[in-house]
Structure 1
């Protein structure tokens, strides 16, 4: 499917049934730009401030996001689950999970949402390995590919990128997700739970942007190794 060009973003009112859910923890320097990039195309953006201490929540709200706060840091899995419940309570048909550190592209989210609508899909997973736009580095690629292999052994999915935070999830699938893991283990947990639904899914090529900031915030090689550790001990 042809991706939307940056000059062809639909206005926000075209997606009133869709909520963008962003787990947020100490991203004050970048979250304003991330939210500002989303709100022209999505009127419903909610950030789950997971115990931030740097004013991230206020920055996100000033940029146009709804805000839900955890008084203490509970982990990304808990933040996502809070966001899912918040969106479902407000009648969401689709939820898009989107990272707070600027590594995801709005045009990719829009392409994935359009594919879910056009093809009647319950889940669209973003994959950085379906084209050559993303440059993760050799060692990181090996670790992530190994994580995919392990995940596919233990789930009912066949993915090329099992730990990509950009996903589109339709309401019928979302109601069956109950995340209880934190750290990186929630990434495997959500794939397991979505796979068990037996609902139709697909992968869509996306670009993951590895900036120096995103690497420092969790996209380092060490973080990829932690994915493998969580897979082994879960």
Structure 2
């Protein structure tokens, strides 16, 4: 599933060529709306997992199996991984929001992989 939030590049055609289901928002609505749309699609279609990544090149798609592993092997209910390591001063507000949910500190919560399993109605 790819949520297109007003891309002006070849994102939609490339995603469709790769076999993805593409849902294009009517205009640029922002990341929050795109993520909520993805969650609604996942719930309404009984997805087993949803992996949240950005399409701006910040995330390495080949790392998806690594972040999926703890959930697939029943070692975790949710898997979150920051792409930043030590030395980065990130968004304090987003990090505080993330720590309040996960109990873990992330340098910048905007740049995380998130795996959320077991979507059902």
TM-score range, shorter chain: 0.7 to 0.9
Bigger relative CO (Cα 8 Å, ≥ 6 apart): 2
1:210 aligns with none
User: CA contact under 8 A between 1:124 and 1:168: conserved in structure 2?
Assistant: yes
1:49 aligns with 4
**Alpha-carbon distance in 2 for matches of 1:52, 1:75:** 11
1:110 aligns with 65
**Alpha-carbon distance in 2 for matches of 1:126, 1:148:** 17
Task: Please state how far the C-alpha of 1:98 moved relative to its aligned partner.
Answer: 1.5
**Alpha-carbon distance in 1 for matches of 2:10, 2:98:** 41
SS state at 2:37 partner: helix
Q: Which has the larger radius of gyration?
A: 1
**Alpha-carbon distance in 1 for matches of 2:98, 2:62:** 31
SS state at 2:28 partner: coil
Structure 1 unpaired stretches of 5+: 1-45, 133-137, 176-234
Task: Identify if the C-alpha distance between structure 1 residues 72 and 124 changes in structure 2 by more than 3 Å, giving closer, same or farther.
Answer: same
2:43 aligns with 88
Q: TM-score, normalised by structure 2?
A: 0.76
2:118 aligns with 171
- 1:169-213 superposed Cα distances (whole Å, 9 cap, x missing partner): 1236x98xxxxxxxxxxxxxxxxxxxxxxxxxxxxxxxxxxxxxx
Structure 2 unpaired stretches of 5+: none
Q: TM-score, normalised by structure 1?
A: 0.43
**Alpha-carbon distance in 2 for matches of 1:121, 1:51:** 34
**Number of equivalences:** 119
- 1:44-79 superposed Cα distances (whole Å, 9 cap, x missing partner): xx1111123345312321232211011111111111
The worse-fitting range, judged by mean Cα deviation, of 64-73 and 84-93 is 84-93
4+ runs of 1 displaced by more than 6 Å? none
**Alpha-carbon distance in 2 for matches of 1:107, 1:99:** 13
- 1:88-139 superposed Cα distances (whole Å, 9 cap, x missing partner): 2222121101211222223422112111122342211112356x7xxxxx5x
